Amino acid sequence: MKTIVSESLLPRVAAGDERAVAECLDRYANLVWSLARRFTSDRSEAEDAVQEIFIELWSSASRYDSSKASETTFIAMVARRRLIDRLRKTRREPHMEELDVVMDLGTPGPVEATEAKDDAARASRLIKTLKPEQQKIIQLAVYQGHTHQSIADSLGMPLGTVKTHLRRGLMRVRTAMQEALP
Amino acid sequence: MSGQGRLLDLLTSRATEGLPKELSRELDAALGRQTDIGPHDLDLAAAAADLAFASSASVTEAMPADLKQLIMQQARAHLYRRTEAAPTTTAAMRKRGLFDAAYVGWYAAAAMLLLALWAPWSSGPEEPAALPSLAEQRELLIAGADDVIQVAWARPATEEYAHVAGDVVWSIQRQAGFMRLSGLPANRSSVEQYQLWIVDPSRDERPIDGGVFDIPAGVDEVLVPIDAKLRTDNPTVFAITLEQPGGVVVSDGPLLVVAPVDA
């Protein structure tokens, strides 16, 4: 598969390069908007959230470290942190798919055609090696945004077991990402 | 549970469901005590896993064009606040007749200069989003937000500021706004700078810092984006003071001009 390596924009954003800001928005607007729409069913809340996310991104661009993760992963992290905080404050479960849906990670999607390919593809390969139960818990918590308690209740599983699966799963993803670093 | 186990639990929780303030403080303290794991490692791992699932789902929704344009406007305002152009640049541009809108001032001059610089790069199929001037941003905000507060500067009692005019617009939903000012005396930015304050009793007894700005000599009217340092949901008064360069955290200076918001 051909790998497309995109130029990092955040260092230029941090330096105040306005063209980089516009390019950054063009490149990542749909990613951030899709995340926001997945985390909230309220369109106006999603609009507020993405404005906050990008304001934070312009301010925090200098924190991006290409030795830690891809730019896409960093931006997804900034967006997720903001969306999770908003979700936690409203104390609502996100509007997402049913809990019993388990996604098949075997089908490559659009993100694999971008520079996020490295991190996301590594995460995908790693998650596929986990037990189905653990895959499902990671999907419910990370992708669908459910709380640990709601996952435990829905799956009839002790809360501690859910937390352990999540912690181990994320640590393994982290290790896989770091092993690939130069 | 060991210190390391507790740290990983907190990092996992933050990366997936968020942490209340007390646990965030505990996490910060725990991160300060050990170095085996980076403070953002699990957040990045969760983001990568999220992207992996999103990739498989192949569900990407395009951001609405008007929202994208608004974010670009906010980005420009953010960058302008970081950019200081010399007043001589403004004067030179005025001589060349590069702008003539009555209320477009120093910041708009900077915007137009950047637009001029932008032009050679913006051709071709991958043209970035268009960049409106501050005046256009202000008009778009007024036209596009349904909660815009627009209040005039009250006539000041002191002689020096008696001719100050203009207004303030602020959108609570978008947390963005602009000051339009004429008649405010020019300041020497190396000695003192104007600072905007926003009184929001629902948030704090102390006014919110709305950002510092300059009034260059020879400019009749200036448009300044508001740089509120905190979320402002219930502004009751906008006020301007003159402070040391860079502004202050708490002002004890006199309020030079104010724009009260009617209840």
Alpha-carbon gap: B134 to the closest alpha carbon of chain A (Å): 14
Across B104-121, average pLDDT = 37
Kindly list the domain boundaries of chain A, sorted by start residue: 1-95, 97-182
**Substitution target from B1, B11, B19, B51 for chain A, most A beta carbons within 10 A:** B51
The beta-carbon neighbor of B128 closest among A23, A127, A138 is A23
ipTM of the complex: 0.87
pLDDT at B107 over 80: no
* Residue B194 pLDDT grade (very low, low, confident, very high; cuts 50, 70, 90): very high
Class of domain A97-182: mainly alpha
Domains A1-95 and A97-182 share a fold: no
Q: Among A64-78, A150-164, B77-91, B139-153, which is the least confidently predicted range?
A: B77-91
The 10s digit of each residue's pLDDT in B24-50 is 889 888 887 766 788 899 999 999 999
| Whole-number Å distance between alpha carbons of B43 and B140 | 36
Are B229 and B209 in contact by the 8 Å Cβ rule? The answer is yes
- Chain B, residues 148-177, CB within 8 A of chain A, namely 173-175
Angstrom CA distances, B232 to A46, A65, A76, A105, B135, stand at 19, 32, 26, 43, 22
- DSSP type of residue A61: G
Structure confidence at residue A109 (pLDDT): 45
CATH architecture of the domain with range A1-95: Orthogonal Bundle (1.10)
Is B221 in a helix, a strand, or coil?
strand
The beta-carbon neighbor of A87 closest among B18, B56, B57 is B18
Structure confidence at residue A60 (pLDDT): 87
| Whole-number Å distance between alpha carbons of B94 and B102 | 12
Residue with tokens 């192949």: B58
Most confident of A67-76, B2-11, B97-106, B108-117: A67-76
pLDDT at A142 over 90: yes
Across B49-76, average pLDDT = 85
More confident residue, B143 or B125: B143
- Side chain identity, residue B181: L
Return the C-alpha torsion angle B43, B46, B47, B48, nearest 10: 120
Tell me the H-state helices in chain B. Answer: 3-16, 21-33, 41-57, 65-82, 87-96, 106-118, 134-144
**Substitution target from B17, B112, B131, B172 for chain A, most A beta carbons within 10 A:** B17
pLDDT at A138 over 70: yes
Residues in chain B within 8 Å Cβ distance of A106: 56
Q: Flag if B71 and A68 touch (Cβ within 8 Å).
A: no
| Whole-number Å distance between alpha carbons of B203 and B232 | 8
